[in-house]
Chains A and B, each alone.
Chain A
Amino acid sequence: MNVMTKSTVTEDGRTIGGVLMAVDNITLRFGGVTAIRGASFDIREGEIRAIIGPNGAGKTSMLNVINGFYHPQEGTITFKGEQRHDMRPHIAATQGIARTFQNVALFKGMSTLDNIMSGRALRMKRNIFWQILYNGPARKEELEHRKYVETIIDFLEIPHIRRTPVGKLPYGLQKRVELGRALAMEPDLLLLDEPMAGMNVEEKEDMSRFIIDINEEFGTTIALIEHDMGVVMDLSDRVVVLDHGDLIADGTPDQVQRNQGVIDAYLGVAHD
């Protein structure tokens, strides 16, 4: 796959660059079950890429492969031009991949602020000895990062819950805090696993707005899994469709919507 693919400009004036991440011929098996079968697609710089498919299609598995929780049996992952057989969570995080989880994975005992601060973990360099002293450089560093985290809190419109332990927050806000934690990593690629699951219409609208703003203002590339087709078709530049571990379609929302294989996968088709 060619990293230097020329950039294009979307209708709404955003620039889509070259390939940021490419998965090539990924096969993932759990014992006898094949979760993903030879899937290949790419994610370009600056785009919003959706991964859709019915339940059990392998969408979350794909996200887990991309950020290194799962190690595929076959295939390669290329991120920023570097080809790997598999990813490791730590490498993914260092290289600029952040993610949220399907069932909100926050640090429940900690406040909103501390949760989002934990996203800065990799950017804080002062070593343990300075931190033991908790003075001078370590403290100054802490304050600098705190400032950045405050901008994220403002951006996500959650200053009022700054000090609240996140376990006490309603689900919609928890999702927002989780997004904040991922944003604090200043990622190049943001993976969102069902960012709108379990939300009401209003919350979905808010979340959609945040996703668009993140993409436009921070220039962050986003790959998201979502079941709400209206949202997916509105937000994304390109859509990958998985079904039972097979990649059955890849293209713009329009192309995908018209694809017979996709319609069959979603509506069911008589097997005779």
Chain B
Amino acid sequence: MLFFMETVISGLLAGVMYSLVALGFVLIFKASGVFNFAQGVMALFAALTLVGLLSGTTPFTHIDNPAFAMPAWVAIPLTIVVMIVFAILVERFILRHLVNQEQIILFMSMVGLAYVLEGAGDILWGSDVKVIDLGLPQGAWDWLLDGYGLYIEKIELVAAGTAVVLVAFLAVFFQKTRIGRALRAVADDHQAALSVGISLRSIWIIVWSVAGVVALVTGVVWGAKSGIQFSLSLIALKALPVLILGGFESIPGAIVGGLIIGVGEKLAEVYGGEIIVAIFGRWYEIDPGIFSATENWFAYVLALVFLLFRPQGLFGEKIIERV
């Protein structure tokens, strides 16, 4: 039982990480209908920038100069500024020119953006694996391990806490404020939004900036766990099944979707083999280790099943239309 709980909890915590990635996608998809393929790279880029500033790396040369090293309270706001500038550039050079274009064109531009940004990260900060040190706690939670025998990593709890705060903040911001309403308006109908005087451009900049901040949090949390490396940009793909589960337009969907995938993956990995053996074992000889590498594909199979039965996702807006 204890082992089962440990599996579920660590699944939930891993799920929070997926949720964070998915969140960035949802924000941008809601506002501009663009599937932001570059979200993973944005997380990587933000984390690289933050590490670069923290360790005083000179851009382009990749040489650390401790004299320029900034404390975290300077480096974090500065990184956010960098992500806002990035948002402005995206609006100025991509979105503005692609208004009212086909989805696929926007998507291709995002694929392009992902590669440009990845290259920029490489040129500016170098391609070696970096360690981020923001003083986030490492290792297992001692009292849980000693008292209950549960092995839970501290960093995962920190990630979960951060995600909760971030989501609560975004929920209030988008439901209760004028900008939130304007954002939902833009998501629904560009022309109508324009007619009431909502500026598409500023909404896009705001949304991309917020997505940039979410990317920074994602990058830091993932980076603290596994080092900041270029494979971080691939976590974008992990967000896809989460989005299919949760619905592309739903913030709660991104959260719940992430959690389901996280727990599902862990459970499948641990118990999947036994279950298969229990069912088919009397006819076939099956290696119980058959499910030990599920993490690579389980999420996608789950997403496929969902596509069959609930294509709009758990929380996706069902398109209500009177004909």
A residues apposed to B, CB below 8 Å: 67, 69, 89-90, 92-94, 98-99, 101, 105-110, 114, 117-122, 124, 126, 128, 131-132, 134, 138, 142, 165, 167-168, 170-171, 181-182, 185
Contacts and interface: CB of A to CB of B under 8 A. Distances in A.
B184 A110 contact: yes
A109 B188 CA distance: 7
B282 to A, nearest CB: 52
Contacts of B320: 108, 165, 167-168
Given A107-B192, A181-B196, 10 more contacts: A107-B185, A108-B188, A109-B317, A120-B178, A122-B197, A131-B178, A131-B180, A132-B173, A138-B178, A181-B192
27 contacts: A69-B194, A90-B197, A93-B194, A93-B195, A98-B196, A101-B192, A101-B195, A105-B195, A107-B185, A107-B188, A108-B188, A108-B320, A109-B187, A110-B185, A117-B181, A118-B182, A121-B181, A122-B196, A124-B178, A126-B178, A132-B177, A134-B173, A134-B177, A165-B320, A167-B322, A170-B322, A185-B197
B195 A89 contact: yes
A94 B197 contact: yes
B72 interface: no
A194 to B, nearest CB: 15
A114 B188 contact: no
A138 B177 contact: yes
Contacts of A121: 178, 181-182, 185, 196-198
Nearest to B317: A109
A132 B320 CA distance: 31
B104 interface: no
B88 to A, nearest CB: 14
A101 B194 CA distance: 12
B146 interface: no
B49 to A, nearest CB: 22
A93 B172 CA distance: 27
A108 B322 CA distance: 11
Given A108-B320, A128-B206, A134-B173, A89 B194 contact: yes
Contact of B195 (A98, A120, A171): A98
Contacts of B206: 128
Interface residues of B, number: 29
Interface in B240-288: none
Interface in B176-212: 176-182, 184-185, 187-189, 191-199, 206
B170 to A, nearest CB: 10
A120 B182 CA distance: 10
B192 A114 contact: no
A25 B272 CA distance: 74
Contact of A101 (B191, B199, B321): B191
A107 B189 CA distance: 6
Interface in B142-184: 169, 172-173, 176-182, 184
Contacts of A114: 181, 184
Contacts of A109: 184, 187-188, 317
Among B169, B182, B320, residue most surrounded by chain A Cβ atoms (within 10 Å):
B320
A67 B192 CA distance: 12
A185 B194 CA distance: 13
Given A105-B189, A106-B189, A119 B196 contact: yes
A172 to B, nearest CB: 11
Given A108-B320, A117-B181, A93 B176 contact: no
